[in-house]
Structure 1
Amino acid sequence: MRAIIVEKPGGPEALEVAEVGEPSPGPGQVRIRTAAAGVNPVDAATRAGLLADAGLMPPFGSRGPIGIGWDVAGTVDAVGPDVTRFAPGDPVVGLRDRLDVPLGAYADAIVLDASAVGRAPRSASPAEAATLPLNGLTASQALDLLDLPSGGTLLVTGAAGAVGGFAVQLAVLRGLRVVAAASAADEALVRGLGAEWFVPRGVHLGDAVRALVPGGVDGALDAALLSVAALDAVRGGGAFVAVSGGPAAPVPLRGIAVHNVWIRADGTRLEQLSALVDAGRLTLRVAGTFPLEEAARAHERLEAGGLRGRLVLTLA
């Protein structure tokens, strides 16, 4: 079968189409015949060797080629022992959250733990469904960390992006009042997702937010990695979640509880998100599609920026 692998870190040209053996599910696992795979910034970071450099995965060459891709949508075609929740033919979405494995979602088939898989939204195409796992779970788990009560106020930076857009919608469903920060051109988009207030890029974020919410918001979900600029908008004793670690997570000034959201696969939560999609309460956005063989082109487009939604690789 076909798979996209990386043997040496580099630019998009480092992505290779290889013929590999088909994986078999072990105990508690399912094999998914891939219909679509999301293209995420973490895929580009993996390919470029940034995650290896940060000690988040072994160095390239230490265990052979590296598989690429976290998000998968497709159909179960085999189940391992002890799997009763899924059967061949089930349309599913899944998240590969392990980095040190030879195959990722950019492949004709992938084996995942059944606990990392949920039923796909019935109302979505495979390309649409493939945009849900990583970004939807990241937004949902970030809101869990913030733990704000209904009626609380939340700043979402990067609100027009893939994680930010899900965060706005899921926050509103939790009863939160959202201040969305994004490019001025995206105001209509994020208000349509449910944001009550809007702050355009290019202004002093803390001052602008406090003009809307005196004293500052109860929490911030920093999908744009603005760090201290977003922290300044939070009231003393509030909560802050950075979507990635390192410098994106600021010092917890003024008694603010600061967290990083480290994504984990959660099939049960994925099914809950799928149900929200089918109920028309969560929007899936595909920025463009490429065939598997053009993964390098997809990465070039990803790195060019300016996307609203996610690029997706489609597999026949």
Structure 2
Amino acid sequence: MRAVVVRAVGGPEVLEVVEVPVPVPGVGQVRIRVEAAAVNPVDAATRSGGLVEAGLMAPRDVIGIGWDVAGVVDEVGSGVSAFVAGERVIGVRDRLDLPLGTYAEYVVLDVGAVAVAPAGPSPVEAATLPLNGLTALQALDLLGTGPGGTLLVTGAAGAVGGFAVELAVLRGLRVVACAADADEAYVRGAGARWFVPRSAGPGLAEAVRDLVPGGVDAALDAAAVGLAALGAVRSRGAFVSVVGGAAPVPLRGITVREQWIAADAHALAGLSSLAGTGALTPRVAGTLPLHEAGRAHRLLAEGGLRGRLVLVP
């Protein structure tokens, strides 16, 4: 089968399409025939060697690329009863120490990282859900803000931020969305009660406090704003960064944490159900064939995308 790997870290040009044996599912695993694989910033950090430099993964001779997948169960390993061959699923590869990722024609995942695909969205749309949806959901769980609470979401029009706004509103939170001026209509449509333009820059905290006197109860920082977003949070509030290493110092008794994604089949099934009813909105910035993974990474680096690029084997 064809798969995209990295054998020498660097720019998008180091992404190679190679022929490798079709992986075999082990105990508690399923093999998925890949229909779509989303392209995420963590893929670029893996390709460039940034994750090795940060101590988040050990050096490897061959590095697999890709976390998100939507496809069809092709074979199940022993002990698996939750899925059968031919079933459409979504999944997330949350392990970095593997030679193959989801940029491939087939991928093997633990059953605990897989859920039934949402009814309605296409495989391309569904592929944008696992990593970003779970990140948003687990970040909200870390914040622990209850119904009626106030929440600032930075990067609110991004892949993680957009899901965070929708999920927060479903939990009964009142959301202040920070995004580009051109994205105001989108984030308000997602349910945000207030909007603050990204151009507020260092003045973000005061702009938020003008809307929510005393500061918001919590902030989900999907845009690595850091201290400016922390300033918008009330004393002894909560703050979660979804970008590794971007969390600010916990001033004023604010609980500051970083969200690190973990595969969770139960939570992923819940997200799939919400996407199937239209309560969550997958967004696709474009599709490319598997062999143009390098081009996808170049487009990602240029920025300005709304939603995720998706590779189609």
TM-score (structure 2 length as normaliser): 0.99
Residues 125-136 of structure 1 correspond to what in structure 2 (within 5 A)?
125-136=122-133
Answer yes or no: is 1:200 the counterpart of 2:202. no
Name the counterpart of 1:261: 259
CA distance in 1, matches of 2:306, 2:264: 25
CA distance in 1, matches of 2:198, 2:128: 25
What do the CA deviations read for 1:183-205 (whole angstroms, capped 9, x no partner)? Answer: 11110010000000000012210
Alignment partner for residue 247 of structure 2, among 246, 249, 256? 249
Name the counterpart of 2:86: 89
Kindly provide the amino acid, as one letter, of the partner of residue 251 in structure 2. Answer: L
Name the counterpart of 1:140: 137
What do the CA deviations read for 1:119-157 (whole angstroms, capped 9, x no partner)? Answer: 001101110000000000000000000000100000000
Gaps of 5+ in 1: none
Name the counterpart of 2:18: 18
What SS class does the counterpart of residue 199 from structure 2 fall into?
A: coil
CA distance in 2, matches of 1:105, 1:193: 29
Kindly provide the amino acid, as one letter, of the partner of residue 53 in structure 1. Answer: E
Answer yes or no: is 1:236 the counterpart of 2:225. no
CA distance in 2, matches of 1:92, 1:129: 9
CA distance in 2, matches of 1:137, 1:80: 25
Name the counterpart of 1:174: 171
Name the counterpart of 1:158: 155
**Deviation (angstroms), 1:245:** 2.3
What do the CA deviations read for 1:250-285 (whole angstroms, capped 9, x no partner)? Answer: 111111001100000111111101110111111010
Residues 1-316 of structure 1 correspond to what in structure 2 (within 5 A)?
1-59=1-59, 63-203=60-200, 204-246=203-245, 248-315=246-313
What SS class does the counterpart of residue 3 from structure 2 fall into?
A: strand
TM-score (structure 1 length as normaliser): 0.98
What SS class does the counterpart of residue 254 from structure 1 fall into?
A: helix
Kindly provide the amino acid, as one letter, of the partner of residue 227 in structure 1. Answer: G
CA distance in 2, matches of 1:89, 1:44: 31
Kindly provide the amino acid, as one letter, of the partner of residue 7 in structure 2. Answer: E
Name the % identity: 68
CA distance in 2, matches of 1:101, 1:28: 17
CA distance in 2, matches of 1:245, 1:17: 29
CA distance in 1, matches of 2:27, 2:198: 49
Kindly provide the amino acid, as one letter, of the partner of residue 51 in structure 2. Answer: L
What SS class does the counterpart of residue 74 from structure 2 fall into?
A: strand
CA distance in 1, matches of 2:278, 2:298: 32
CA distance in 1, matches of 2:130, 2:40: 11
**Deviation (angstroms), 1:64:** 2.5
Kindly provide the amino acid, as one letter, of the partner of residue 14 in structure 2. Answer: A
CA distance in 1, matches of 2:243, 2:262: 13
Moved over 4 A (4+): none
CA distance in 2, matches of 1:134, 1:208: 31
CA distance in 1, matches of 2:276, 2:57: 36
What SS class does the counterpart of residue 297 from structure 1 fall into?
A: helix
What do the CA deviations read for 1:73-94 (whole angstroms, capped 9, x no partner)? Answer: 0000101111010010110000
**Deviation (angstroms), 1:13:** 0.3
